[in-house]
Structure 1
């Protein structure tokens, strides 16, 4: 069984990481699995690209830049990711695509596969599986919905677009997707229950079959280290209560919820039973040119961390990982933190409740409630059995998201789809 995974990028973004991790897990469980990307950033020799030659790379860059430019030009400055999918490339005649038994789609925006080129893949008469890493596949362009329900109908009247109306670009994109999907027989994988429920309300794909299968990660890489020793690596005193967060304010990612993090930390610092000198904040993944806010606690900025082994030690050094995300499918950072036995404090939103069990391996705060987010941090800060919560964090990943478990669920799906093919 040859499985070919298709993604726009190799390791640039959460979908790329999830795609590569799944392929590695399948390979480790005896499947001939391969990843091909539209544009390759990394050096992993196991990942191939459709843009090998200088001309192909130039065309790919043109597609990517054009798609992003026009989407940005037509959108309001709402910090909402949006794709028009006007630019793309046909891949149906590529040898790797033609030789695959299963075509597994992941994130295919930014100039890679338009609805037209997606529909072409059905001509190959192979089972197609599509993992939805965000909402774009069933909307008129947006990747993050923020409560907008226009996708229940046929989009249009889009709150993201400058020129909004019944026949706007979102509605026209919806129609192009409808036309393509009517020609396609593909099976949907939703990494979270939240995503699966969203698909059911979609006017485009609400009647399609959906399997809820989570993403996975490298449990032998993201693993617990002795907390005191991990803190020592980052020159943090072992008695400090360390808060870790994985992003900084972004001009493009409103859904990351940074203002709620800042407000929650201010609320926490004013609590009578919290000593600010006992707490240290560690931030990784921030952009060097980002404007840094003032935090009420001593703060260490680690910047971008390239090696996963080093990132695992960051998680292990923390007593709590804080993510104020407002809409996320199944965020990698939450799973990585739990795998390193670090409890997570987050809003009850998206796929996060699939990973964080309230008061067991972390704390789920009321949506958009900074005060409750601060309460969750204080809960861990004062908890007398914090080590038990840390054990539950690691156990929850090994039980539900380990490589062999997620691989087995995908293999079962692949085999089922292959058995339904005409002999």
Structure 2
């Protein structure tokens, strides 16, 4: 079996790293796997770069920056990115693509596979799999549809565009994608149920088959002995360490910081809770933001870019708290469980996929700060904490390890190959 992955970036960022992990896992299973990317970042030694030579590299960088430049000047200031997909590069002439049994598309924005070049792939008459990491493939340009439902129809009246209307750029991009997708037969992979449900509601992709295959966890995220990990962070080993991330706290839409403060104030006022026994550790920096006071001693760790050190940070915690009410599965949940640290979070679509109530963590009633505090208190008093920690780690090993996720891909690839005319 020969699998070729197409991704804008090789080894760069969350998606690039995910693609390379899958590539390596498939190779370990005896599959001939290759990654073809638009841009080489220096970290992707195993990836094939489609833009070879000086002019090729210049062209790929031009596509990336031109796409970002025009998107920026045509959209409003927003946390949700938007892609026009005016610029692109064909991939069908690369040997690894032409000789593949299955072509696996990943994140192909930033000047790689525009709708025109996506349609070309169907000329090769090979099974095509496409993993969606965000909403862009089935919208008129946005990468996070948030609460907008325009993608259910034909887009238009886009809230992200400076000039918005029935036939705005989002509708025109939607129309280009519709024409391209009519010539592209592909099977979709969604990383979670939330994404799968959004795909099924979309006018562009709702009629296609969708498989749910989560992203694998990197082997770098593994547990360390808690006393040793706490020592690295200069925390007394007797302290019960609460951990969260600054990103979750400063989610303005769902008031993450205030959710956590309310829950911790509730916890601190309970009988049997000695505030001096607790320490709150926050991944990330305050960055000048003014936050209300927390009831426990609080340490901001700053930005942690090294995953090995980040694993030690998670391992130092006795509980990882997710105060956000968003439905998406936060990366910190998976990373924390992988490091044998239980998670306390609200019961949402995202957390329900991973956190098992009273087994590897605690799922609080949606929106109840009192119940969030109860989850923390349960872990603090529970004498079976070591068993809960082991179950957290076991969840990742049995459901989200690189080998397990590679096997799920292999089953999908083989089923598509078997459907090909003999």
TM over 0.5: yes
Query: Which residue in 1 is equivalent to 2:10?
Result: 10
Q: Give the alignment's Cα RMSD to 1 decimal.
A: 2.6
1:270 aligns with 2:265: yes
Q: What is the CA deviation profile of residues 248-301 of structure 1, one whole-angstrom value per residue up to 9, with x for unaligned ones?
A: 489xxx8x56873321332244231354443333344x47x9434445232132
Q: Write the mapping of 1:220-299 to structure 2, written as runs, cut at 5 A.
A: 221-248=220-247, 260-271=255-266, 272-273=269-270, 274-284=273-283, 286=284, 290-294=287-291, 296=294, 297-299=297-299
Q: 1:310, 1:167 → 2: CA distance?
A: 49
CA shift at 1:404, angstroms?
Answer: 2.4
State the partner residue of 2:53: 53
**Are the counterparts in 1 of residues 282 and 298 from structure 2 also a CA contact under 8 Å?**
no
* Aligned equivalents of 2:355, 2:36: Cα separation in 1: 32
Distance in 2, Cα, partners of 1:12 & 1:373:
35
User: Deviation per CA, 1:58-92, whole angstroms, max 9, x where unpaired?
Assistant: 22222222222222222222321221211211121
Query: Which residue is 1:21 aligned to?
Result: 21
Structure 1 pair 369–132 and aligned structure 2 pair: CA distance change class (3 A)? farther
Q: Determine helix, strand or coil for the equivalent of 2:129.
A: strand
Matched residue, 1:217:
217
**Alignment CA distance shift 1:395-1:131 (3 Å):** same
Could you say if the C-alpha distance between residues 291 and 321 of structure 1 is closer, same or farther in structure 2, counting changes exceeding 3 Å?
Answer: same
For residues 142 and 108 of structure 2, what CA distance do their matches in structure 1 show?
14
**Does the C-alpha gap of structure 1 residues 263 and 375 become closer, same or farther in structure 2, counting only changes over 3 Å?**
farther
SS in 2 for 1:164: coil
Q: Are 2:408 and 1:409 aligned?
A: yes
Cα pair 2:135 2:142 within 8 Å, conserved? yes
Q: Write the distance in 1 (CA, Å) between the matches of 2:42 and 2:241.
A: 32
Instruction: Tell me the distance in 2 between the aligned counterparts of 1:190 and 1:321.
Output: 26
Q: Secondary structure, in 3 states, of the residue corresponding to 1:406?
A: helix
Q: TM-score, normalised by structure 1?
A: 0.89
CA-to-aligned-CA distance 1:79-106 (integer Å, 9 cap, x gap): 2122121121112112222222211111
| Native 8 Å contact 1:76 1:162 kept in 2 | yes
Name 1:419's counterpart in structure 2. 418
Q: In 2 relative to 1, CA 365–407 (structure 1 residues): closer, same or farther, beyond 3 Å?
A: same
Q: Unaligned stretches of 5+ in structure 2?
A: none
Change (3 A) 1:324 1:32: farther
Q: Which shifted more, 34-43 or 311-320?
A: 34-43
Q: How do 1:391-406 residues align onto structure 2 when only pairs under 5 Å count?
A: 391-406=390-405
| Contact 1:240–1:279 (8 Å) recurs in 2 | yes
CA contact (8 A) 1:146 1:327 kept: no
CA drift of 1:346 comes to 3.4
Contact 2:6 2:104 in 1 (8 A): yes
Contact in 1 for aligned 2:280/2:298 (Cα 8 Å):
yes
Task: Tell me how many residue pairs correspond in the alignment.
Answer: 415
Q: For residues 187 and 376 of structure 1, do their structure 2 counterparts lie closer, same or farther at Cα, with a shift above 3 Å needed?
A: same
| Conservation of the 8 A alpha-carbon contact between 1:133 and 1:329 | no
Cα 1:30–1:172 shift into 2, 3 Å: same
Q: CA deviation at 1:162?
A: 2.1
Q: Would the alpha carbon gap of residues 49 and 350 (structure 1) be closer, same or farther in structure 2, given more than 3 Å must change?
A: farther
Q: CA–CA distance in 1 between the matches of 2:143 and 2:366?
A: 20
- The corresponding residue for 1:198 is 198
1:71/1:2 CA distance change after superposition, 3 Å: same
Counterparts of residues 163-178 of structure 1 (less than 5 Å): 163-178=163-178
Q: Could you list the per-position Cα deviations for residues 191-229 of structure 1 after superposition, in whole angstroms to 9, with x for gaps in the alignment? A: 21222122111111111111111211234x322221111
What secondary structure, in the 3-state scheme, does the structure 2 residue paired with 1:391 have?
helix
Say whether the 8 Å CA contact 2:188–2:209 is kept in structure 1.
yes
- 2:114 maps to 1:119: no
Tell me, yes or no, if the aligned pair for 1:242 and 1:281 is still in contact at 8 Å: yes
In the alignment, the residues of structure 2 paired with residue 214 and residue 364 of structure 1 have an alpha-carbon distance, to the nearest angstrom, of 20
Aligned equivalents of 2:43, 2:78: Cα separation in 1:
35
Alpha carbons of structure 1 residues 381 and 42: separation in structure 2 relative to 1, 3 Å: farther
Q: Which moved more, 1:294-303 or 1:403-412?
A: 294-303
Question: 1:89 touches 1:114 (CA, 8 Å); kept in 2?
Answer: yes
- Structure 1: runs of 5+ lacking an equivalent: none
Could you tell me how far 1:137 is from its partner in structure 2? 0.9
Match of 2:155 in 1: 155
Task: State the secondary structure of the residue aligned to 2:23.
Answer: helix
Q: Call closer, same or farther: CA 1:87–1:372 in 2, change over 3 Å.
A: farther
The whole-number CA distance in structure 2 between the counterparts of 1:112 and 1:371 is 48
Go from structure 1 to structure 2 and tell me whether the alpha carbon gap of 1:196 and 1:249 turns closer, same or farther (over 3 Å shift).
Answer: closer
> 1:175-197: CA deviations, max 9, x gaps?
11111100001111112122212
